[in-house]
Structure 1
Amino acid sequence: MSSWIRIIFLLILAVLLAVVLREHSGNVLIIAQPWRIELSLTLAVLLLIALFIVLHVLLQWISWLSSSPTRFRSWRGQRAQRKDRSSLEQGWIGVLEGRDQEAEQKLARLLARTRSSDTKVLAALALARSQHDNGRHAQRDETLEQARVAAAPQPKLQEAVAVVRAELLLDQQRADEALALLQPVYDANPKAFNALRLLLQAHWQLGNQAQVYECVRLLQRKGVLSAQEARPYIERAVTERLAQVDEAGFKSTWGDLKKEERLWPSIALGAAAFHERLAQPRDAAKILEAALNQELDPQLLSAYSQCPPDDVARRVAKAETWLKQSPNNADLLTALGNLCLKGQLWGAGERYLQRSMALRNDVRIHALLGTLYDRLGRSHEAMSHWRLAALAAGTLPVLHWDSVLPAADMRSDPGAPDALPDDAPRMSAPAQSWSAPEAASAVGYLPEESSYEEDVPRKPTSGSPLVDTSDDDLYFDSAPIPGIDLSQTSDRSDSATSAAGTSQDDISRTA
């Protein structure tokens, strides 16, 4: 549009000039001895215009010729810049695509030939990233040092180098070094949110939960960190703080939390544990109930079922209201069973635990049923559930129901008077069909139907003299303790000494 306006303006100017020259038909006389030149005014004006154009073109051409070296250097620089940019793009693309060898070759050549500090820094950072991914940390540090030197004149590039170096150090779990690099960057530029994110990770690795909480809150206020991303940081920081604060610190911490954050299971558990330490079970119950109204979390239910006996009735009534909404919640039924055990409500506790076991076969349910039946005097059922709990736990060796642990091998015990020779046959429990595991603590328990005494062969009573097996000393190590004189410790040593003397007399008489 502007070009059309200029053309119209020039046309109007030309028309006006033609009209003026037509009305003023004068002559121009130029006398330069011995010449006398006479021209019309119109011709003189046209010649002046033509002369101006020719001189302008001539001067422009002379200027262009004189600036040729500068323009040539600029052209070469632009060509090198385009080449460097292309190499940098290809190198970064290679790093991102995983073609590390080809990318590192291009970036190394670019780093060696380029004269641009910006390009050198960017190429060094890309090369350092590739070397870090391949585990060549020494070469990575050398490349980052080159980037730091190249970025010295420009603060923005120095910040970029520090942030990238800190990120790579955090990947190596070297959080203290990363923190030393990131803190000055954030102090100089509070809007460096990427540096603040990395500061959060550094404090998280170092376990500085107070600083973690501050960084998370800053990132949330700036809209950089979403609530879902911030939750694990807040949960851990607040939980550890609640485990250490006093009453004033608890009020400050609890008041700083949002309403929905107080209902998170880990935070509710930490707050409840704080009130339990201060012997305030009602306050702990209120916090747990508020969280359980939001979600019937198993950990919250387990903590809610741990209470003093005078608070059992109120908690059972509250838990039964949740049971109306979730009648098939095994964790809630287990918690109700545990509460009934604490309140000695044996019948209700058995019903709740049986319903829970029908939904899920769990170690804790069997353990609670075993405790319940043990208090009711139903030892056989209690032992059965305890065995099932041990079996479900999977931490004890699998043995037979109606067998005991095999006898200890005492052939190498120098203090055992009834030690058997090496070639004597070893006794073992009779082989039986497997049905369930048995804990080592239940060795003395023998069901009525057990035929242990009939199946297990006894030691012969004839032959060499044997010590009475009813003696409790056989269940202890009989080897002497180095450096201790048994004659000075107990009356047990006297009997041992007299027995030794009698044996020596018998040997001499026999000889």
Structure 2
Amino acid sequence: MRVALWFLGLFGLAAALALFASTNTGTVTIFWPPHRVDLSLNMVVVLLCVLFVLLHLSLKTIGALFALPGQARSWRLQHQERVMYASLLEALSHLVAGRFLRARKSAQMVLAREASLTESGEVWPGAERLRVLANLLAAESSQSLQDRPAREYYFQQALDQAGAGHSGDIRDGLLLRAVRWSLEDQDAAAALERLNELPSGVARRTVALRLRLKVARMAGKIDLALDTARLLAKHRAFSQDSANGLLRSLSQEWLQTASDADQLQGIWSRLEPAEHTLPDVACSAAGRLLRLGGDAGVAFAWLLPVWQHMVDAAHGLSTDQKILLVRVMENGFSMTDASIDTEWLSRIEQAHLNDPGDALLQYLAGVACLHLQLWGKSQQLLQRALPRLPDVGLQSRAWQMLAELAQRQGNEAEAAAAWRNATTVRMRRPV
């Protein structure tokens, strides 16, 4: 279709020229004394057109000749750029493949070529980013080669280039890489220093929070690690089970750092309400408080939410968590007064009525009765619970209490048999 239109236009132009030229009788006279030249108007028009075309072609030819040096310079610059980018990709390939010395040499080649271009006065886009990336690859390779002076040199060069070029994202990436290097070197102080240099927005990113968590744990800053883990859990950086496990382990680790009861209660107050209800955390805190000689009433108050979870069929505890709770409560009963024992005995009996087959509840009720000096009831409950206790430690402890009760009653033979059973059960405990 386009060719047909071109032909139609060409035919129309030819027809118009034929009509105009065939009837045009005008002439153009040029006086050049003593000569006179007469030319037809058609010839003059054709000559002017030819002259214009020749002049236009001449100007284009002259312009192309003058542009040759610039084009040659541009071609050389493009060639150098292609070579540098190829060397950069080669350095990255060597780094990924574990050829760190070759990777550093390729990065150094990029830096040398770029410096040569800069000294010659060439200015091209992307030079700053290329310098930063080449220095970063050289620093990364030096880190893998355990060449720390070279790593610091190239890292500082990259950091200076990123700062001079106002490349915020590149600078943030460099600082994050420096944190990873410090982690590999087990230098928590340097890693924290680099993390503190990050802008507030970058410090809240998931990758920065993960690094902060590792650094805080390495530095022994459990409170900082716990705060960071909470933010990661809020950002859904972990699955729900993994987040709960991490928060639980950090909370327990922080509680174990307390050296007295007041410090422990201060740490407990800084935990979030959701962490107070974690069975392992509450049991660990209560057990630690009892070992430090703290108020047993406070310890049992911490255990109350866990107890409610245990007696609630919809949110029951695992067997290991129940055993842990029973052990902590057993230790606490020896340090409480009669009012607390009576209050908890009523709770235990009510839970036992709701679940008569639970041996742990029977055992716990027997312990509470023992401390309330209800000898007969305690002996009865312990004897019922003993065959079904899921933990050999509790079985051994039950035999020991039965031996003490038998001694109170003056039955030395039964007491001796109970002591032997306690020893036998404890010897069966897995190593």
Taking a change above 3 Å as real, the CA distance of residues 21 and 124 of structure 1, as seen in their structure-2 partners, is same
Is this contact kept in 2: 1:186–1:195, CA < 8 A? no
Q: Deviations over 1:96-121 (max 9, x none)?
A: 23233443443344444443443333
Q: TM-score, normalised on structure 2?
A: 0.68
Other structure's SS at 2:318 match: coil
Q: Which residue of 2 aligns with 1:206?
A: 219
1:381 aligns with 2:381: no
Taking a change above 3 Å as real, the CA distance of residues 337 and 246 of structure 1, as seen in their structure-2 partners, is closer
Other structure's SS at 2:297 match: coil
The residue type equivalent to 2:190 in the other structure is: E
Q: Which residue of 1 aligns with 2:336?
A: none
1:124 aligns with 2:135: yes
Other structure's SS at 1:343 match: helix
Structure ranking higher in helix proportion: 2
The residue type equivalent to 1:312 in the other structure is: L
Q: Which structure would you say has the larger RCO, counting Cα contacts within 8 Å and 6 or more residues apart?
A: 2
1:370 aligns with 2:404: no
The alignment covers a number of residue pairs equal to: 374
1:298 aligns with 2:328: no
* 1:58 Cα offset (Å): 3.9
Q: Deviations over 1:279-328 (max 9, x none)?
A: 2577445410354424315245422451543213422542675686xxxx
The residue type equivalent to 2:137 in the other structure is: A
Taking a change above 3 Å as real, the CA distance of residues 382 and 177 of structure 1, as seen in their structure-2 partners, is same
1:151 aligns with 2:162: yes
The residue type equivalent to 1:318 in the other structure is: A
1:78 aligns with 2:78: yes
Q: Which residue of 1 aligns with 2:381?
A: 348
Is this contact kept in 1: 2:101–2:145, CA < 8 A? no
> Residues of 1 paired with 2:39 and 2:308: CA distance?
112
* 1:160 Cα offset (Å): 2.5
Q: Which residue of 1 aligns with 2:122?
A: none
Q: Deviations over 1:82-102 (max 9, x none)?
A: 222222223222222323344
Q: Deviations over 1:192-226 (max 9, x none)?
A: 55334323333343344444454445445555555
Taking a change above 3 Å as real, the CA distance of residues 129 and 22 of structure 1, as seen in their structure-2 partners, is same
Is this contact kept in 2: 1:209–1:237, CA < 8 A? yes
The residue type equivalent to 1:269 in the other structure is: C
Taking a change above 3 Å as real, the CA distance of residues 298 and 24 of structure 1, as seen in their structure-2 partners, is same
Aligned pairs for 1:221-232 (under 5 A) are: 227-228=240-241, 230-232=243-245
The residue type equivalent to 1:349 in the other structure is: L
> Residues of 2 paired with 1:54 and 1:265: CA distance?
96
Q: TM-score, normalised on structure 1?
A: 0.59
> Residues of 2 paired with 1:67 and 1:102: CA distance?
40
Q: Which residue of 2 aligns with 1:315?
A: 348
Q: Which residue of 1 aligns with 2:120?
A: none
Q: Which residue of 2 aligns with 1:265?
A: 279
* 1:174 Cα offset (Å): 1.9
RMSD: 4.3
Other structure's SS at 2:38 match: strand
The residue type equivalent to 2:87 in the other structure is: S
Q: Deviations over 1:384-421 (max 9, x none)?
A: 244336645689xxxxxxxxxxxxxxxxxxxxxxxxxx
Q: Which residue of 1 aligns with 2:188?
A: 175
Aligned pairs for 1:381-460 (under 5 A) are: 381-388=417-424, 391-392=427-428
Q: Which residue of 1 aligns with 2:173?
A: 160
* 1:229 Cα offset (Å): 5.2
Q: Which residue of 2 aligns with 1:406?
A: none
* 1:13 Cα offset (Å): 6.0
Q: Which residue of 2 aligns with 1:486?
A: none
